[in-house]
Chain A
Amino acid sequence: GQQLNQSPQSMFIQEGEDVSMNCTSSSIFNTWLWYKQDPGEGPVLLIALYKAGELTSNGRLTAQFGITRKDSFLNISASIPSDVGIYFCAGPTTSGTYKYIFGTGTRLKVLA
């Protein structure tokens, strides 16, 4: 079935640095969503993308829907300590039974 792979798996960055992460699939998606999860909490929706090539911002976060529809990117500018957490991409599958699946996650740690 369709899977979402995220990279990097984890990253340590200094406060103030910009962060980039991506999500790829072997098959196309029509919607890409990015979530952030704090320890022990539910994922919180950050950005939703619905159109190939779309670039959407939410404060310091910017996400892009890849032209091939097989990938998406999330950038965080000027990171701050509260950006720590796990970032997941997600989307509804487009083949077989409709399922809302999540990527493997990128764990972000910010060093003050």
Chain B
Amino acid sequence: DSGVTQTPKHLITATGQRVTLRCSPRSGDLSVYWYQQSLDQGLQFLIHYYNGEERAKGNILERFSAQQFPDLHSELNLSSLELGDSALYFCASSVADQNTEAFFGQGTRLTVV
């Protein structure tokens, strides 16, 4: 158990809908990272928050947004969902914002039908 909690584990929704994925980082970690992993693909970096502030963006679609709350949990919002958004979404956390080890949650499997 990495200490990073993601909910829900599975999500099935229809095209055009909006969903929210939630991540609770390890106790004491200030950084949260979000990744997307499509079937049999690598992990694509989406966005990084540190202590409530956005630090970096990857190839995140405009339909996607995220935030980190004062209690350090984070949410990834996906809207106007398309079939191609079906993927595993992972959250990771680390203590600092640079050059530190990141620990991953179990992921949320999103299926868009």
Contacts and interface: CB of A to CB of B under 8 A. Distances in A.
Contact of A48 (B58, B92, B101): B101
Interface stretch (B14-22, B65-73, B77-85, B105-113): B105-113
A102 B56 contact: no
Nearest to B55: A98
A105 B104 CA distance: 16
B27 interface: no
A102 B43 contact: yes
- The contact size tier of chain A is 20 to 34
Contacts, number: 60
A62 to B, nearest CB: 18
B90 A43 contact: yes
A48 B88 CA distance: 24
Chain A residues touching B, majority SS: loop
B30 to A, nearest CB: 14
A101 B105 contact: no
A98 B97 contact: yes
Contact of A42 (B2, B42, B98, B100): B2
Contacts of A27: none
A39 to B, nearest CB: 10
B6 to A, nearest CB: 8
20 contacts: A31-B99, A33-B101, A40-B88, A40-B107, A40-B109, A42-B2, A42-B92, A42-B106, A43-B104, A44-B104, A92-B98, A92-B99, A97-B55, A98-B97, A99-B56, A99-B58, A100-B48, A101-B45, A102-B43, A102-B45
Given A30-B99, A99-B45, A103-B42, 10 more contacts: A40-B107, A40-B109, A41-B106, A42-B92, A44-B104, A98-B97, A100-B92, A100-B102, A102-B35, A102-B43
Interface of A: 30-31, 33, 35, 40-45, 48, 50, 88, 90, 92, 97-105
